[in-house]
Structure 1
C-alpha cells in the first residue's frame, strides 16, 4: 500500500513532517531518481534520497518509538546547526543509529525547561498539531503590575498579530512581596505558537523576565534533572503520548530494566555535560 512520502520519511526517523515538507518543497528529496513533489505517494520499495544520499525506508513493524526528556538551558538554540556557532539542543543528545531525534516543538533561546525528542516523526507531528489541544505548562516571572482584570483578559482571550490567543489557566505562585515588581505565575496553553507566552503578557504591558516550561501533557520536567541533562521515557509514558494523538501502542523499548541507569548517574552525567558546555562557551568568548 502506498503512503505519503513525508509520512513514510517521518516514521522512518528522518525528521518531522513539517521539516520534510520543507525539504520536498526545496527540491532536496528525490524518489526513484526524480525530484519529489508535495503529496507524492510511495511504495515500500521506492529509492529515496535526501540531498543526494539514499535513506532507509522502514515499514511500521521495524520502527521502535523512543522519546527523550531534555532539560534545555537558556542560551541553547533549537536548531540542528547554528551558523553563528552557538550551542544547540542537539549537541547534548545521545547518538541513535538508523534514525534521528526530532524535537516536539521548540523553545526560544531565552526559554528553558522541558523539551521532548522522539525518533518517530509522525508522533512529533501529531503532538505539535493544535487540533490535539495538548497542555503545555510554564513557570513565568513577569516584571510589572499585574491586576486581576489583566488575568481575566488573558484567560478570556486577546488579539495578537497572528490571531486570538488565551491562556487556559493562570495561577499566581508568589514572589510579589520578596521580589518587588517581579511576580511568578504558572500558565497553561494548548498550542505552541512562536513566543506566545511572552506575547500574551506583553499585550498587557508587562515583560517576561524568566520563562520555563515544566510540563507537556502529563509529562513533568523531572525534579533534579540538571540543565542539558536528558532521560529516556519508559514505555508507559511513551504509550500515554501515543494514545493522546491516536497512534497504536509501542510494544518495544530500548530501556533494559536490568541495566537501567540510576537517577544519580544520569544527573552526574548531565552535570558533566553542563560543565563542558560552559567551558566551550568560555573558549568561544575568548576567541
Structure 2
C-alpha cells in the first residue's frame, strides 16, 4: 500500500505532517535517489531508501515505534524552534535524548508565554492533536490589568473578528484579584498563532502574563518546576490517542 510521503515520515517519528511538508518544499528529502515533491506517494519495503538532508533514515518494516509523550514546563524567554540565529534559550536543549527519532512539539507557545508543552515521537499523534477538527481543549491562566465588564466577557465567548477569521473562548472563568491585576482561566479549542493574546487585544485588553496549564486532560503538574520535564504514563498517552481516534499502545 502506498501512502503520502509526509504521512509515512510522521508515523516513523521524523516530524509532524505539517513540518515534513515544509521540508519537502525545501527539497531536502530524497527518495530512492530522486528529490521528493509535495504530493509524492511511496510504498515502504526493504528496498526503499529515504534521506533527509543527505542522511539516510530508518523506515524498516520491522521497526517498532513505541509512542512516547513528555510534558515540559516552558519558561518565558524560551523559544520553541530547534534553531535560532539569535542564540536565545531553546527548549529542545532541555529535552531527553531519543534514539532513531526526534521530539515533535504538539503546538507552540510564544516567547513571552510560559507553561505546559507536550512533545511526542509520533508525528501522526502530534498532527491530530493540533488539528482544529478534533477540538482538543487548551486552558490558559491569564493576568490582565483592570476589570473585565460583562459586555467584553460576552464578546470573548461569542467571538471577535481577527485577521484570519472569527475566534472565541469556550469558557472564561474568573480566578482571583490582586489590586488592579485580575486573573482568569480561558479555554480554547484551536491553536492559531498568538490567538489567545489576539482575542483579548481585539477588545483593547492587554495581557500581563499568560500561562498554559492544560492540553486535553493533561494538566501542568504542580510538582514540575520550570525548565524540567516528565514522561506521561501509557494511560495518559492512550487518553490522547483515543481523543484523536488512534489505536492505543
Fold shared per TM-score above 0.5: yes
Q: Which residue is equivalent to 1:35?
A: 35
Cα distance change of structure 1 residues 220 and 43 upon mapping to structure 2, 3 Å threshold:
same
SS state at 1:115 partner: strand
Residue 221, structure 1, aligned to residue 220, structure 2: yes
Alignment equivalent of 1:121, drawn from 123, 137, 141: 123
Alignment equivalent of 1:93, drawn from 60, 82, 95: 95
C-alpha distance in 1 between matches for 2:138 and 2:62: 29
Q: Which residue is equivalent to 1:236?
A: 235
C-alpha distance in 1 between matches for 2:240 and 2:111: 26
Q: Would the aligned equivalents of 1:145 and 1:206 in 2 still touch at CA under 8 Å?
A: no
Q: Which residue is equivalent to 1:255?
A: none
Cα deviations by residue, 1:189-215 (Å, 9 ceiling, x for unpaired): 000011111111111111001000000
Cα distance change of structure 1 residues 60 and 225 upon mapping to structure 2, 3 Å threshold:
farther
Shift of 1:233: 0.3
Residue 14, structure 1, aligned to residue 14, structure 2: yes
Deviant stretches of 4+, over 3 Å: 58-61
Shift of 1:37: 1.2
Q: Which residue is equivalent to 2:176?
A: 174
Cα distance change of structure 1 residues 128 and 58 upon mapping to structure 2, 3 Å threshold:
farther
The structure carrying a bigger strand percent of its residues is: 2
Cα deviations by residue, 1:62-105 (Å, 9 ceiling, x for unpaired): 11100000000001000001111111110100000111100000
Count of residue correspondences: 247
Q: Would the aligned equivalents of 1:71 and 1:226 in 2 still touch at CA under 8 Å?
A: yes
Shift of 1:155: 0.1
Give 5+ residue unaligned stretches, structure 1: 251-287
Shift of 1:60: 8.1
Give matches, 1:1-80, under 5 Å: 1-45=1-45, 46-59=48-61, 62-80=64-82
SS state at 1:62 partner: coil
Give 5+ residue unaligned stretches, structure 2: none
Shift of 1:179: 2.3
Q: Which residue is equivalent to 2:204?
A: 205
Cα deviations by residue, 1:11-33 (Å, 9 ceiling, x for unpaired): 11111111100010111111101
| RMSD across aligned positions (CA) | 1.1
